[in-house]
Amino acid sequence: MRKIVAGLTKKQVEKELSELKDQLNEYRNAYYTKDAPLVEDNVYDNLYNRLLEIENEYPDLVTPDSPSQLVGDVTDDKLGKVTHDIPMLSMGDVFSYEELQEYDNRIVKNVGSPVDYNVELKIDGLAISLIYENGKLVEGSTRGDGTTGENVTANIMTIGSIPKQLPQPLNIEVRGECFMSKKEFLRINEEREKEGQQVFANPRNAAAGSLRQLDPQITADRKLDAFMYTIVTFDTLNVSTQSQALQTLEKLGFMVNETAKVSKGLEVVNEYIEKYEINRDNLDYGIDGVVLKVNDLETQQQLGNTVKVPRWEIAYKFPPEQSETVVREVTWTVGRTGVLTPTAVMDPVSLAGTTVSRATLHNIDMIRQKDVRLLDTVLLHKAGDIIPEVSQVVLSKRPKDSVELEIPTHCPSCGSELVHLEDEVAIRCINPKCPAQVKEQLTHFASRNAMNIDGLGPKIIEQLFSKKLIKDVADLYKLDEEILSQLDGFKEKSINNLLNAIENSKTNSVERLIFGLGIQHVGLKAATLLSEEFGSLDNIIAAPSEDILAVNTIGGTIVNSLKTYFANKDVLILIDEIKNAGVNTEFIDTSNSNETNEHFTDKIVVITGTLNSYKRSELADKLKHMGAKVTGSVTKKTDILIAGEKAGSKLTKAQDLGIQIIDEATLSTYLEDVDK
Residues belonging to the active site: 122
* SS3 per residue for 522-549: CCHHHHHHHHHHHCEHHHHHHCCHHHHH
126-133 and 172-179 as β-strands: parallel, antiparallel, unpaired? Answer: antiparallel
- 126 pairs with which residues across the strands? 178
* SS3 per residue for 404-426: CCCCCCECCCCCCECECCCCCCC
640-643 and 660-662 as β-strands: parallel, antiparallel, unpaired? Answer: parallel
Give me the count of residues in the chain.
676
| CB-CB neighbours of 436 under 10 Å | 19
Side-chain half-sphere exposure of 408, counting CA atoms within 13 A: 23
Residue 369 DSSP label: H
d(CA 437, CA 455): 21
**Torsion angles phi and psi, residue 466, rounded to 5:** -65, -30
d(CA 338, CA 429): 5
Span between the terminal Cα atoms of the chain, in Å: 79
Nearest Cα to 476, choosing from 486, 485, 484?
484
313-317 and 92-94 as β-strands: parallel, antiparallel, unpaired? Answer: parallel
Query: 481-492 b/e with 16+ CB inside 10 Å = b?
Result: eebbeebeebee
